[in-house]
Amino acid sequence: MLEFRDIRPDDKTLFDRYSQRDTIASEGAFATMYIWNDYYNLKVADDGEFMYLQFNVRDRIPSYYFPIGGGNVNRALDSLRDYTRANGHSLAFRLVTEEQLARLRAYGGAEFLANEERDCEDYVYTTGQLISLAGKKLHAKRNHINFFLENYAYTYETVTEEVAVNECAPLMYELVANKERNRNPFELPAMRRFFENYRILGERGAVIRVDGKIVAMSFGEPLNDRAAVIQLEVAREEYRGAYQLINKLFCENEWKEYDFINREEDMGLEGLRQAKESYQPAFLVKKYTVIEV
């Protein structure tokens, strides 16, 4: 029988051992899952062949991420089904990709009801497009960057752990706390969890400075050999073009060897959805809630 326990920062080692090398979903990155733990309340189990993640979101029955590993998936699903039956709840999954949904529907002796989770679907872009910003539809992005370049003398730098913890973290907390748009009650705790565990998360980060002051920052990590995920990005809004420039330069300097950039979901926030759609994603990674019936 599976034994679940609370997830810990040092579970990055466990997560990396079971890393989903073929996935482009943002959940393939440990930091993406861990920093939002105030919402997910994650628990983890490991049977030596698969890793299992249990979501304990408020007022919902426990649900699960699709088993992560390279062995017999049906055996892993059997283990989850045995666990849920022993604990008196239905077998339910969250953040299921289309490929994983197909595998669930092929699982013998079970029927599943699937509902698309539009608010959780990842926006994926070609790295080349985010660097070049070519084409009529991205003309406004180029205009914002040109305004910044014409009005500010700036420097771009890849951050050290010291800069991340001592300079980026306080600014991030300030900017998130003062947000007027795209407000998410779980965002500030997530940012604190991110920077308090920065060393173990193994992130890449970069900042733009004007007169020595950080005006924009971005952080991410590789998902696999072809794709990276950007988990954090923020800029001082009084510096027009700072958001667009950090996006472009971060991709150009840190991620140009990757084909795709996953910029995660919009959480159903209208302003964030508009911003992500405005960059013309190559595709969205569809996600589903799935329950056995």
247 class by beta-carbon count within 10 Å (0-12 exposed, 13-18 middle, 19+ buried): buried
Q: Provide the pLDDT confidence category of residue 101 given band limits of 50, 70 and 90.
A: very high
Question: Is the predicted pLDDT of residue 48 greater than 80, yes or no?
Answer: yes
Average pLDDT over residues 100-124: 93
DSSP 184-198: -TTHHHHHHHHHHTH
DSSP type of residue 261: E
What is the three-class DSSP state of 62?
coil
Q: What is the pLDDT of residues 143-163, one digit of tens each?
A: 999 999 999 999 999 999 999
Task: Extract the runs of DSSP E, i.e. beta strands, from the chain.
Answer: 5-6, 43-46, 50-55, 63-64, 68-69, 92-96, 112-116, 122-126, 154-158, 204-210, 213-222, 227-235, 260-262, 283-285, 288-292
Question: Is the predicted pLDDT of residue 19 greater than 80, yes or no?
Answer: no
5-120: which CATH topology?
Aminopeptidase (3.40.630)
Question: Is the predicted pLDDT of residue 219 greater than 80, yes or no?
Answer: yes
122-284: which CATH topology?
Aminopeptidase (3.40.630)
Average pLDDT over residues 31-39: 93
Q: Provide the pLDDT confidence category of residue 228 given band limits of 50, 70 and 90.
A: very high
Q: Provide the pLDDT confidence category of residue 21 given band limits of 50, 70 and 90.
A: low
Per-residue model confidence (pLDDT) at position 60: 82
Domain boundaries, the chain: 5-120, 122-284
Q: Provide the pLDDT confidence category of residue 58 given band limits of 50, 70 and 90.
A: confident
Per-residue model confidence (pLDDT) at position 171: 96
Per-residue model confidence (pLDDT) at position 180: 72
Q: Provide the pLDDT confidence category of residue 235 given band limits of 50, 70 and 90.
A: very high
Per-residue model confidence (pLDDT) at position 264: 97
Average pLDDT over residues 221-225: 91
Rounded to two decimals, the pTM is 0.94
Q: Provide the pLDDT confidence category of residue 23 given band limits of 50, 70 and 90.
A: confident
Question: Is the predicted pLDDT of residue 166 greater than 70, yes or no?
Answer: yes
Contact predicate 229/223, CB 8 Å: yes
Per-residue model confidence (pLDDT) at position 71: 86
What is the three-class DSSP state of 30?
helix
